[in-house]
Structures are given as structure tokens and as C-alpha cells.
């Protein structure tokens, strides 16, 4: 039995280089017997959680209604973060209340007000406190409110849909017995434009990008186990928490997309896809990742430097497109994978831009 490239225990799992949170794709490359189940599902699984639930990709997953495995917990990223990452914060100005309110994506352009409490202080500062489905006990709400440390509250609102009143109203009233819902309740309603999204990226997000590229590389260059000394630095980066700035040592943003027909500002016509690619060139091993290539989002193409030392392997490259079916899933598959011609997928490299800027 092979040993896990991260911990040395027996490697007994099957790894999806593209996280399963993006759906299952027919004919997708898989990495077999390189990771143990603990590293695959737990130690490194938190990276996939943060990528798919806290990063820009979390917005696109909700926008396109993409679900992971049925065995995975369903998490609404607008109400809580995952794996140490912050939740998605989407807001817009509400003309009725005269202040910003938080919103959540239902699917596509359908956006509604998040189920929330809104507090306005005398200073004019506005604070939103989301009410997730899991918050059913008054002590949970009280503790979350106290963490805000608010003073001199001059205005408060509770926002929820009519069908949510059977549990929201008793919950709020248990904490604030004198609340008057007739005066302070605004039912949820839809927004179509003027929305701002705040996303915070941590080291785990970029480590997930690096993991994706590294594991895909190993599927395309099987002469490597991944445990070689030349990959020691990238393994350590992927496996261990660290400062987010460390990402710049391994990952850069490409100045050109991975598909040639997207040059000159071109966008896909109604389709969505992901691309993973890998190459050995000039003695250097690299991987390339571009997620959610679509007409609705300016997808960032990343290059991951896996090793800087000389490689004895024959130079070359591989690329695959994970293409979503245009009419929805077919059985358990959300799409299929196409092998790309390397020459048309990877262009002569230009200097990479740092993925993490100055504080």
C-alpha cells in the first residue's frame, strides 16, 4: 500500500482534484491512493469547505444552484462561515428603512433580505444580526447580540418572511419581551440590483487552490508520487495553517485566461465551466486553476508553482475542462470533463500578479 503524501500513514482514499462541492463530473480525473482518509476528508477537507462556502465561488454556487454530495451538510453561507472563514456579507440600501440591510441569494438574480435583526446606534452605525435556522434557543440569540457590544440603540427592526413567524417571533420575544412586531416587522422582499458583497479570503482559501492544482498535477504526471523532496514546500504550505501572505510564494494570478477564446475580454455564451491544467516546463512543475468561467463573473486564473528545482521528467502539459450541462444535472453528474489541447490551453507565461496585496 502506498503511504499518504502528507502524513505517512496508509493511503487508502480517492481524491477529487476539483472539490466535490462543485458537483460530480463524468470522466473527471481522480487521484487514487495518495492520501489517507483522515487527511483527505478532515485535515484537508476544511480547505475545500472554505473555498466553496466562503470565497467568491460560494456566491457562484448559490447563483447557479450548485450542490455538492447529498451526504454533505447544506450550509447557507450568508448565515455562517465554514472552516474558520467568514460568512458572505451581501448588502443593499433599503429605501423603506433608510439604511443598509443584509441580503441573501436564493438563486440567479433572485435576492431577498436575510432573516435578521437590525440595530441602529445614536452614532448612525447600523449592525445586522442574521438569524440562521439553527438559532432556535433564546440564549443563543442573547449571546450573539451581546458580542456586538452595542450602546445607545435608537432603532431596531426584525426582518423575516411571513412563513417564518412561528419561530422567529417567539425567539425574539423571549429575549426582548416588550418588542412590538406590528411596528417593527418588515417582511422579506426581493432585490434585483444595487448589491454589494463582502468576502474575506484567508490562507485556507489559497491553500485549497494550491491543493487543487497539486493533486491535479499528480493525476497527469503519474511518474510522481507527490512525496518527492522537490514537492516538500508545496506540501507543507497545503497542510499547515499560516499567514495569508505566504500564498504569494506559491500562487500568482495569471494575466491571461486559460482558454484562448476568452482573450480580448470575451465571455462564455451562457455556459459555465472550470479548468485545471498542469505542465512541466523549463524544469519547473506548475499547475493552473480557473474556476467558474462564465458570463456572470470575472474568473481569476491562478498559477501554482509546485517545485522550483530541476525536473527529470519529459516536459509537456495537460488540461481538462469541467463543463456543466446546460440543462441541469443528468443523473448524479452535473457535467462532463473534456481533455483540452495543451498548446491552446496554456499560453506563454507573463509575470504573475500577487494574490495577496499589502495590508
Q: Note the pLDDT tens digit of each residue in 288-329.
A: 999 999 988 888 999 999 997 666 667 889 999 999 999 899
First to last CA, the chain: 45
Query: What letter does residue 10 receive in the DSSP assignment?
Result: B
pLDDT of residue 231: 96
The answer to whether residues 32 and 14 touch, using CB atoms and an 8 Å cutoff, is yes
Average pLDDT of the segment spanning 193-209: 89
pLDDT of residue 18: 97
**Residue with more model confidence, 311 or 157:** 157
pLDDT of residue 204: 97
pLDDT of residue 57: 94
Alpha carbon 294 to its chain centroid, in Å, reads 16
pLDDT band at 80 (very low <50, low <70, confident <90, very high): confident
pLDDT of residue 178: 87
Q: What are the phi and psi torsion angles at 160 (to 5°)? A: -165, 160
pLDDT of residue 102: 93
Whether residue 140 is predicted with pLDDT greater than 80 in this model: the reply is yes
Give 96's contacts (C-beta < 8 A, 6+ positions apart). Answer: 186
Average pLDDT of the segment spanning 125-146: 95
Count of H helices and E strands in the chain? 9, 19
Whether residue 130 is predicted with pLDDT greater than 50 in this model: the reply is yes
Model pTM score:
0.90
Where is average pLDDT lowest: 179-188, 215-224, 267-276?
179-188
Question: Over pLDDT 90: what percentage of the chain?
Answer: 65
Whether residue 184 is predicted with pLDDT greater than 80 in this model: the reply is no
Selection from 74, 135, 68, 13 nearest residue 329 by Cα = 68
pLDDT of residue 298: 85
Could you give the 3-state DSSP secondary structure of residue 164?
helix
Q: Which helix (H) or strand (E) holds 93?
A: strand 89-94
Mean pLDDT score of the chain: 88
For 203-261, how does the pLDDT look when each residue is reduced to its tens digit (9 = 90+)? 999 999 999 999 999 999 999 999 999 999 999 999 999 999 999 999 999 988 888 76
From residue 15, alpha-carbon distances to 114, 157, 228, 233, 289 in Å are: 35, 46, 19, 21, 17
Amino acid at each position: 500500500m502506498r503511504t499518504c503524501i502528507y502524513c505517512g500513514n496508509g493511503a487508502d482514499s480517492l481524491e477529487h482534484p476539483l472539490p466535490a462541492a462543485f458537483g460530480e463530473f463524468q470522466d473527471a480525473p481522480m487521484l487514487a491512493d495518495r492520501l489517507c482518509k483522515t487527511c483527505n476528508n478532515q485535515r484537508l477537507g476544511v480547505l475545500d469547505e472554505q473555498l466553496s462556502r466562503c470565497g467568491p465561488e460560494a456566491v457562484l454556487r448559490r447563483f447557479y444552484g450548485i450542490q455538492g454530495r447529498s451526504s454533505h451538510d447544506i450550509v447557507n453561507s450568508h448565515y455562517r462561515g465554514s472552516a474558520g472563514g467568514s460568512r458572505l456579507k451581501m448588502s443593499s440600501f433599503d429605501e423603506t428603512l433608510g439604511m443598509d440591510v443584509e441580503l441573501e441569494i436564493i438563486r440567479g438574480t433572485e435576492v431577498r433580505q436575510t432573516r435578521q435583526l437590525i440595530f441602529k446606534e445614536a452614532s448612525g452605525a447600523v449592525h445586522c444580526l442574521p438569524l440562521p435556522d439553527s438559532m432556535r434557543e433564546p440564549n443563543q440569540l442573547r449571546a450573539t447580540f451581546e458580542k456586538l457590544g452595542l450602546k445607545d440603540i435608537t432603532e431596531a427592526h426584525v426582518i423575516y418572511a411571513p412563513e417564518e413567524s412561528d419561530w422567529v417571533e417567539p425567539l425574539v420575544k423571549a429575549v426582548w419581551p416588550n418588542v412590538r412586531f406590528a411596528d417593527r416587522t418588515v417582511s422579506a422582499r426581493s432585490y434585483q440590483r444595487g448589491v454589494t458583497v463582502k468576502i474575506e479570503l484567508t490562507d485556507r482559501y489559497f491553500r485549497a487552490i494550491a491543493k487543487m492544482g497539486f493533486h491535479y498535477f499528480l493525476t497527469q504526471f503519474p511518474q510522481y508520487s507527490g512525496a518527492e523532496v522537490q514537492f516538500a514546500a508545496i506540501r507543507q504550505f497545503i497542510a499547515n495553517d499560516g499567514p495569508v501572505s505566504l500564498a504569494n510564494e506559491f500562487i500568482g494570478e495569471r494575466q491571461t485566461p486559460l482558454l484562448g477564446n476568452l482573450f480580448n475580454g470575451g465571455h462564455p455564451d451562457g455556459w459555465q465551466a472550470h479548468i485545471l491544467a498542469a505542465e512541466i516546463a523549463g524544469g519547473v512543475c506548475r499547475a493552473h486553476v480557473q474556476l467558474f468561467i462564465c458570463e456572470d463573473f470575472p474568473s481569476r486564473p491562478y498559477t501554482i508553482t509546485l517545485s522550483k528545482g530541476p525536473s527529470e521528467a519529459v516536459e509537456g502539459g495537460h488540461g481538462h475542462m469541467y463543463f456543466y450541462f446546460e440543462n441541469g444535472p443528468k443523473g448524479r453528474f452535473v457535467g462532463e470533463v473534456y481533455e483540452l489541447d495543451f498548446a491552446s490551453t496554456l499560453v506563454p507565461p507573463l509575470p504573475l500578479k500577487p494574490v495577496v496585496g499589502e495590508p
